[in-house]
Chains A and B, each alone.
Chain A
């Protein structure tokens, strides 16, 4: 069984790596995405993530099915955290196991790229001088001073 979940609790990456491990797997690749302090010279104090939870879990499961078709014999687990996250905390974990390492590496990268395209999750950066929803690239920044 695969795991696709949105959670408001801290993520323990090992739990997901353990979940995909099985006797046929010779490789497990675990990716964790973390809250970065500096983006383009601006210091982030913390991030706030929100999701359209049922759709996000559905889209992650769809990505898992795509991976199953492209890389046979893989098993995958994906979790994304929502709520307020401090610098360094884990925002997303993707664990993929496969008989050989190449498929696990490739499938793992495919998963994060697809998450960034289609899964309804949004990140708001909170700085010392304001805040901004990320993703509205065509929109004028709406910086509000606290």
Chain B
């Protein structure tokens, strides 16, 4: 299983801060497609995905036990 984390406006969209999904072996790009199916509009704001606390590329492959976080555009400072 992959642990998914949602923050800020994306969490408002999903309604949950985190969940588990059977996405091991899939790419980050496929994760985005999965998420867009489940939560239409999740990609619209230009969210990035971080895997195990590092920004990931669409082609990166998820491994069992990974944590993938949806990172909407940041606004710290």
Contact = CB atoms under 8 A, between A and B. Distances in A.
17 contacts: A33-B77, A49-B76, A55-B50, A55-B69, A92-B77, A115-B77, A120-B7, A121-B74, A121-B75, A123-B76, A133-B75, A135-B8, A135-B9, A137-B73, A138-B45, A139-B44, A142-B12
Interface of A: 33, 49-52, 54-56, 58, 80, 91-92, 112, 115-124, 133-139, 142
B19 to A, nearest CB: 16
B9 A139 contact: yes
A138 B45 CA distance: 5
The dominant DSSP class at the B interface is: loop
Contacts of A55: 50, 53-54, 69
Interface residues of B, number: 20
B49 to A, nearest CB: 11
B50 A120 contact: yes
Contacts, number: 85
B24 interface: no
Contact of B71 (A52, A91, A134, A138): A52
Contacts of B15: none
B46 interface: yes
A116 B69 CA distance: 18
Interface in B28-77: 44-46, 50, 53-55, 69, 71-77
B72 A115 contact: no
